[in-house]
Amino acid sequence: MSRIPADLLEFMETLRVPKGVNPADMLQRYDAIMNGNPPPVGAVHDGVLLREVAGWRLTADIAVPFGPGPHPVLVYFHGGGWTMGSPKTHLRVGREFAAAGYLTINLDYRRAPKHRFPAAFDDCVFATHWAAENAARYGGNPKRLAVGGDSAGGNLAAAVLAECAQKGGPKINVGVLIYGVFDYYKAISGLGTTGPSTQFYLPEDQYETLRGDYRVSPLFACSKFPPCYVGVGTKDPLLPESLELARRLKEAGIEHDLHVVEGAPHGFFQLTPLPAYAEGYRRATTFLTKHLTH
């Protein structure tokens, strides 16, 4: 069996799944908890083709809010250790944000180890540009644009924020960064992954040369981020990542909401039975509304 990505171990422990269980089987087993009975939305467009690249059909599931619009837009990148997950494992996440009033574009980006960095990053950047150019076709207002993600997706979302700030657009009004990885090397070291041969995301022959690259560790380019919601639980092994990002944002004078949820584990935005679930969406959508209503 392949090694379970380290940033999912806490999630599996929370669900009391024995270590050694195939993570894909685990996700399927708990799909009813993570995605069952999602909130109603105005419309759903599954598998919208954005482009084809390297033999991969880059698609997105688009959830449209009720009402005439135009709606603010959230481009969302799912978690899964850069190796697994999809818009389907994060179906409810997309529907929750759409139910709260945001046209949510839930991206099915390329995943490692078959597609290593920069494949996922490139897909996420492309999808953000695509949203700016095409969201209006689905009732969205691309001038009110947010980018977000959880775990590995939080890393990708922050990297997109950095890239768009460095390259001059498209303008992103707000970031939603949920228990993400912001200093890749420090995070994987803390999770017990110590070198190029024990991680799946970066090409082994580029592992050392990518240190300090904001596309991998967006913490190093966060001084130009837009306002950000930063959500994490106290039982998350990635807690230090969010705390350090918030510290850097404060130093740079960037408005942010550091939301540290007492007792919450990694993955709580998908654990509907936990009080942290509702609290997380309430805080995240409040922050989004503040920055996307004008």
In a 13 Å sphere around the CA of 273, the CA atoms on its Cβ side amount to 5
Q: Indicate if the pLDDT at residue 37 is higher than 90.
A: no
In the prediction, which pLDDT does 86 show? 96
- Does residue 40 contact residue 99 with C-beta atoms inside 8 Å? yes
The catalytic residue among 151, 183, 217, 256 is 151
Q: Is 217 a catalytic residue?
A: no
Q: Indicate if the pLDDT at residue 47 is higher than 80.
A: yes
- Does residue 45 contact residue 56 with C-beta atoms inside 8 Å? no
Instruction: Please give the model's pTM, rounded to 2 decimal places.
Output: 0.90
Q: Is 151 a catalytic residue?
A: yes
* Max Cα–Cα distance, the chain, nearest Å: 51
Average pLDDT of the chain to the nearest whole number: 91
In the prediction, which pLDDT does 89 show? 95
Over residues 246-254, mean pLDDT: 98
Regarding predicted confidence, which is higher, 87 or 168? 87
Q: Indicate if the pLDDT at residue 4 is higher than 90.
A: no
In the prediction, which pLDDT does 32 show? 75
Q: Indicate if the pLDDT at residue 157 is higher than 80.
A: yes
Over residues 31-42, mean pLDDT: 88
User: In sequence order, what are the residues at sequence separation of 6 or more whose Cβ sits closer than 8 angstroms to the Cβ of residue 243?
Assistant: 232, 258, 260
- Location of structure tokens 């919208």: 48
For the chain, which residues make up each domain, given as ranges? 6-292
Prior bond to 40 cis, omega within 30? no
- Does residue 212 contact residue 272 with C-beta atoms inside 8 Å? no
Q: Indicate if the pLDDT at residue 197 is higher than 90.
A: no
| pLDDT confidence bin for 8, thresholds 50/70/90 | very low
Tokens, residue 201:
């995301």
What share of the chain has pLDDT > 90, as a percent? 81
Over residues 128-140, mean pLDDT: 98
Over residues 19-40, mean pLDDT: 72
Q: What is the pLDDT of residues 257-275, one digit of tens each?
A: 999 999 999 999 999 999 9
Pick the CATH number of 6-292 from 3.40.50.1820, 3.20.20.70, 3.90.180.10, 3.40.50.720: 3.40.50.1820
In the prediction, which pLDDT does 10 show? 45
In the prediction, which pLDDT does 21 show? 58
The catalytic residue among 78, 90, 256, 266 is 266
In the prediction, which pLDDT does 24 show? 58
The catalytic residue among 115, 150, 236, 256 is 236
In the prediction, which pLDDT does 33 show? 79
Tokens, residue 33:
């908890």
Q: Indicate if the pLDDT at residue 23 is higher than 80.
A: no
In the prediction, which pLDDT does 27 show? 57
